[in-house]
Amino acid sequence: MTIDDPNNQDGSTSPGGQDLKSQVGQDLHNVTEHARDDLDAISRRAQEDVRSLGKEAEAKVSEATDKAKSFASDQKDLAAGQINGVATAISKVADELDQSEQKTIARYARDLASGISNVGKTVEDRDVDDLMHLAQDFGRKQPLAFLGAAALAGFVASRFALASSHRAETKTAQPERFEADDANGYSAGTTSRTTGGL
């Protein structure tokens, strides 16, 4: 590409024209280098931002995973306590059956309590990941028993939820009774105000 000087009629290149061409070429080269440097800087910054976002996302996922495991561990401990409580109750029933001359049923109840207690100890002693693996293995080896246990657990959970909601409804439906001292003019256990001799 050539740049022609409009003042030059004969087509020869003047020394000023050569300077102008070299200056334009140099400016074009500088602009190109500057744009390339800017694009490289933008690319490096974008890569750093992507790495930083990846690390932040990884940290958030790890934090959420830790919270979920902590919650599951708390629930596991609660479940272990409940299971052990059921085993203790069944064991007490077995003792009462022994005293009432129903030895065979007492033995079955004691065996059941022992089995439930073992399950409670297993739940208590293992971490959440181990329990998940045990449940998966059991599901693979005994699919019908696993489905039955899942259905039973669902039934128990639904009954528990219904009973809890019923208790909450009953609690809110009953009016509260004022149990204040005599200084306020109310007698204990009544909702009517006493006049106290006035």
Rounded mean pLDDT of 66-74?
Answer: 85
Supply 120's token pair: 């409670």
The pLDDT score that the predictor gives to residue 20 is 84
Contact 106, 94 (CB under 8 A): yes
Contact 116, 142 (CB under 8 A): no
The pLDDT score that the predictor gives to residue 42 is 93
Rounded mean pLDDT of 184-198?
Answer: 48
Lowest mean pLDDT among 51-60, 77-86, 175-184: 175-184
Residue 19: partners with Cβ closer than 8 Å, 6 or more residues away: none
Distance from C-alpha of 53 to C-alpha of 48, rounded to nearest angstrom: 9
pTM over 0.85: no
